[in-house]
Structure 1
Amino acid sequence: MVGDSYNWLWNNPVTREVARCPKVVGDLLHWGYSKGSGQEVVTKVVEVVPTDMINIPSYARWFVRLAGVSGASAVALGAYGAHVFYRREYPEELKQVYETANRYHFLHTLALLGVPLCRRPRVAGSLIVAGTAIFCGTCYYYALTGSKNVRQYTPYGGMLLIIGWLAMIL
């Protein structure tokens, strides 16, 4: 219960909302009036976090770190494509391949962020990392060099990506 000496503080709506901001999980305060007395009452709202969400194995957290590295490289390669590669006189096919590689690179970087929430993160994460490296890597290589030597491996990378997505539902 809030005492009378603090009424000036609690009647200010800005102060009340700032005080409501949780400092830690489960630290949210709720103001209301008790039914019988009509006095203002402050209660602490406790949020219960499911235990399985806290128990993410440490090896699964590495996929989040890999997603950070992969995301940074996808942004760098996207910037290179936009500012250097697309402005040069390359065939339109190579530009489309580069754009496809960059798009898939970004999408599967985001998929890596969800890997720690899977039941079998090692399997799903490893498949997605390998598939992204093979699929996007061969596409980037072909787009940048024009050499078709590694294009034969691109479908294998795509299959690993598909299997990686399916492994997320196991």
Structure 2
Amino acid sequence: MKSSTILKTAAIFGALAVGIGAFGAHGLKPLLESSGRLETFETAVKYHFYHAFALLALGIWTSVKPEMQKTALSFWGFSLGILVFSGSLYTLCLTGVTWLGAITPLGGVAFIVGWLGLIPLAAESKS
């Protein structure tokens, strides 16, 4: 995976996290509080941010060490995790469609896969 692709994706996800977080804190706060979903929305934003930062770090790491090749697993794990974990929680909070809670753990698994995908990168960076 090219570092420029990873960095662009991190930038987009980071910008979206700021926008969605601000919209939730200001525009949606009364709705989220009345539905009892404010904490869920905040969890979605936190994990969204954490993994946008993880993508940023991955992009920087591959910029510094361009010979590293095994970045796709982490890139896709973090990206799909944001889309599925945070995305399902955002949608749940805004629509009240509770079956979406059933797919949220799949996003969590994607995050875990992304983090585990860093193990070969660490080994590769030693060489």
> Which band: TM-score by shorter chain?
0.7 to 0.9
The partner residue of 2:72 within 122, 133, 146 is 122
Structure 2 residue aligned with 1:96 = 39
Asked whether the 8 Å contact 1:60–1:121 carries over to 2, the reply is no
TM-score w.r.t. the length of structure 1 is 0.62
The C-alpha deviation readout for 1:80-102, integer Å capped at 9, x for no partner, is 1111111235222x111100000
Gaps of 5+ in 1: 1-56
Identity of aligned pairs, percent?
33
Matched, 1:85 2:28: yes
Structure 2 residue aligned with 1:169 = 119
Larger gyration radius, structure 1 or structure 2: 1
Alpha-carbon distance, 1:162 to partner: 0.7
Count of residue pairs the alignment pairs up: 112
Matched, 1:160 2:104: no
The C-alpha deviation readout for 1:101-151, integer Å capped at 9, x for no partner, is 001001100000122326411121011101111000000000111111221
TM-score w.r.t. the length of structure 2 is 0.81
Asked whether the 8 Å contact 2:14–2:49 carries over to 1, the reply is yes
Distance 1:121 1:90 in 2: 42
Asked whether the 8 Å contact 2:21–2:45 carries over to 1, the reply is yes
Distance 2:52 2:4 in 1: 14
- Structure 1 residue identity aligned to 2:111: L
Matched, 1:65 2:8: yes
Q: After TM superposition, where is structure 1 displaced by more than 4 Å over at least 4 residues in a row? A: none
Alpha-carbon distance, 1:64 to partner: 0.6
- Structure 2 residue identity aligned to 1:95: L
Gaps of 5+ in 2: 63-67, 121-127
| Greater strand proportion | 1
- Structure 2 residue identity aligned to 1:90: S
Q: RCO (CA 8 Å, sep 6+): is it higher in 1 or 2?
A: 2
| Greater helix proportion | 2
